[in-house]
Amino acid sequence: MGEGILEGIKRGQTVLEARGITKRFPGVVANDRIDLEIKAGEIHAVLGENGAGKTTLMNILFGLLQPDEGEIYVGGQKVSFRSPLDAISLGIGMVHQHRKLVAAHTVLENIILGHPQAGKILNRKKAEKEIGELCEKYGFHLDLGARVWQLSEGEKQAVEILKTLYRGARVLILDEPTSALTPLETEKLLASIEAMARDELAMIPFITHKLPVVLAVSDRVTVLRRGRVTARLETKQATEASLAREMVGREVIFRIEKVQVEAGEPVLQVENLSARNDKGVLAVDGVSFVIRAGEILGLAGVSGNGQQELAEVLAGLRKAERGKVILDGKEITHASLLDRWQAGIGYIPAERIDVGSIADFSLVENVAMNFYFDDEYARYGIMDYQKIRRLTEEIIAEYNVITPGPEVKAKNLSGGNLQKLILGRVLARKPRLLIANLPTQGLDVGATEFVQNKLMEARKEKAAILLISEDLDEILSLSDWVAPIYEGRLMGLFPGDQASREEVGTLMAGLDKKGQES
């Protein structure tokens, strides 16, 4: 193959070009005459909602899929990829969202695994030195001897990037690069991406959400909608609102309208609550707060600071080590999960695919997850699937879940539609207390807006809501009260209209108000 087509290519020259790419799947045109041109040294974001055809395009550029029509050019030469190996050998690398690393192997072993020279003449010492240089150059801080399972998401991603670089990639396709990262890791990654672009590498991040990230680093943006390119522009000319409009096809309101709701009785009272995580370490440490009817309390924090454990304790999935949980004046600290649901708690788990739904169950059976225990839906132990089906149809209609019908399996829904179904199912119980754990994570702009509006509606109907999010903007725009959490402790409690981004941001990073470690 044309080894080295991309060698010696200069900044600004076209490295990768797709012309008229069309790919059809049964029933849909996933890519419809897509043109894309990538230049050396540029950061070229590809933007689109779930289902816009990003994944298909990405897979075609990396050789995982073959287009039905259209051509691909690398460094001006027409190529056809039979498999990713062809793409890799021409200098195209892919950083997967779902990491493809061997967890039990070291960082170094993972990086050289699959390298054409591995097992032949690749010298481990030499490799270590070269990889060390790459780390230095692009700002990755990694222990090459560490095992991959010990790494954080950000570090694993760095390993994937290094792996492609070490195989000589000049064009990097990045699939949702920031979706699993903490704010700090995101900043580091963006710095690395800019450093690589300065070295004439072309970076192609594919992104569904986190528009500010796109605006911060990219040079150009191509926006996809329903398989077509709807905009191709210089980032300088774009705004968050204009990009969102191109993606969704209509105006998107970023500021959610917040009506005045008179707070009612306390619904949830948490007193001095502590709990351990799966490893037995104290994860929730003496937390106390109150949420009243019609109020949203936003728990702001970087993931892994006890939010998950707190949500599980409140939902009844985890034992409290100490303290009290009171719902509507009644203590429920030791109540079972089903008793809590029946007493009016609704829980939207963060892991919507693994915990919140069952992929091989139909939508009807998925809706049954929060209803099968009610006598109304299962008399004498026999399920009333007719009734659950009617409820499912109502949820599909009201929450605008896009699906061929209620008997479709959940695994065929996109992330946004699945989340709408889960939200609709939980809200159909009219919960007194709603625990929403990362309700908009990974959703595209349109679905995010929808979910947020539904939360505001529930608030209007006097539900008490505990909103857990890593997205500070979401917390600030929705919450009546904002509580930063760090290492299992609440770092303060601010009325929503008085909380400042900077202050909450510092507190959730574990620093005190002067920015020093507390």
Partner 1 sequence: MSTGKHRLKFEKRVTFAGWQAALISGLAIAFALALFSLIFILARINPLTAYQKMLAYAFTNRYGLPLTINRFIFLLLCTYAFIIPFRAGLWNIGMTGQFYMGALSTFAVVFAFGGKASRHADLSPELVIPLMLLAAAVGGAAFGAIAGFLRGRFNVNEIVVTMMLNSIASWLVAQMIKEGGPFMNPGGRSESFELPYAVYPPLIQEIPFTIFLALGITALLSFVLARTRIGYQIRAYGHSPQAAQYAGVSPFKIPFLVFLLGGALAGLAAYHYFAAVPGVYKISRNYGYFGDLAFYGIICGLISLGDPVAAIPVALLFGGLSIGGRFIQGELHMNFGVDYALLGVLMISLVAFQFFFRYKIVWIKTGESAHVGIHH
Minimum Å gap between C-beta 378 and partner 1 is 5
Residue 485 beta carbon to partner 1: minimum distance, rounded to whole angstroms: 22
Which residue, 59 or 274, is less far from partner 1 as judged by CB? 59
Among residues 119, 199, 188, 125, the alpha carbon closest in space to that of 152 is found at: 188
CB 269 within 8 A of CB 474: no
Task: Please classify residue 325 by burial: count the beta carbons closer than 10 Å to its beta carbon, then call 0-12 exposed, 13-18 middle and 19+ buried.
Answer: buried
Measure the CA angle with vertex 100, ends 97 and 105; round to 5°.
135
Q: Alpha-carbon distance 270 to 512, whole Å? A: 24
To partner 1, the closest distance from the beta carbon of 377 in angstroms equals 9
Nearest-5° Cα angle at 486, 501 to 293: 70
Residue 383 C-beta: closest distance to partner 1, Å: 6
Nearer to partner 1, 225 or 432 (CB): 432
CB of 66 to partner 1, least distance (A): 7
Q: Nearer Cβ to partner 1, position 246 or 365? A: 365
Min separation Cβ 382 and partner 1, Å: 5
Q: Identify whether the C-beta of residue 36 lies closer than 8 Å to the C-beta of residue 222.
A: yes
**CA distances (Å), origin 108, targets 126, 150, 378:** 11, 14, 55
Closest distance between partner 1 and the C-beta of residue 307, in Å? 16
Backbone angles phi, psi at 44, to 5 degrees: -115, 100
488: tokens are 């299992």
- Nearer CB in complex with partner 1: 251/360: 360
DSSP per residue, 487-505: TTEE---EETTT--HHHHH
Q: By C-beta, is 360 or 517 nearer to partner 1? A: 360
Distance of CA 442 to the CA centre of its chain: 3
- Cα 322 to chain centroid distance, Å, stands at 32
Q: Which is nearer to partner 1, 290 or 337 (CB)?
A: 337
Number of Cβ atoms within 10 Å of the Cβ of 22 = 16
Q: Which CB, 285 or 312, lies closer to partner 1?
A: 312
Q: How far is the CB of 471 from partner 1 (least distance, A)?
A: 23
d(CA 208, CA 164): 23
- Overall residue count recorded for the chain in this entry: 518
Identify the residue whose tokens are 């490295």.
15
In the complex with partner 1, which residue's Cβ is closer, 437 or 469?
437
Report the run of H or E that residue 135 belongs to, with start and end.
helix 124-138
Specify whether the CB–CB gap between 431 and 268 falls below 8 A.
Answer: no
CB nearer partner 1, residue 26 or residue 280? 26
For 76, the token pair is 């001006």
Comparison of 288 and 336: residue with beta carbon closer to partner 1: 336
- CB closer to partner 1 out of 119 and 381: 381
Q: Which are the contacts of 443, defined by CB distance < 8 A and separation ≥ 6? A: 50, 208, 209, 415, 416, 419, 451
The two three-digit tokens of residue 114, written as one number: 């699959």
Minimum distance from CB of 60 to partner 1 (Å)?
13
Query: Token pair of 195, please?
Result: 């450093």
Nearest-approach distance from CB 64 to partner 1, in angstroms: 8
Q: How far is the CB of 505 from partner 1 (least distance, A)?
A: 31
Distance (Å, whole) CA 51 – CA 415: 10
Residues forming beta bridges with residue 510, ordered by sequence position: none
- Residues forming contacts to partner 1 in the complex (CB under 8 A) are 26, 65-66, 82, 315, 317, 336-338, 341, 347, 349, 351, 354-361, 365, 368-370, 372-373, 378, 381-383, 385, 412
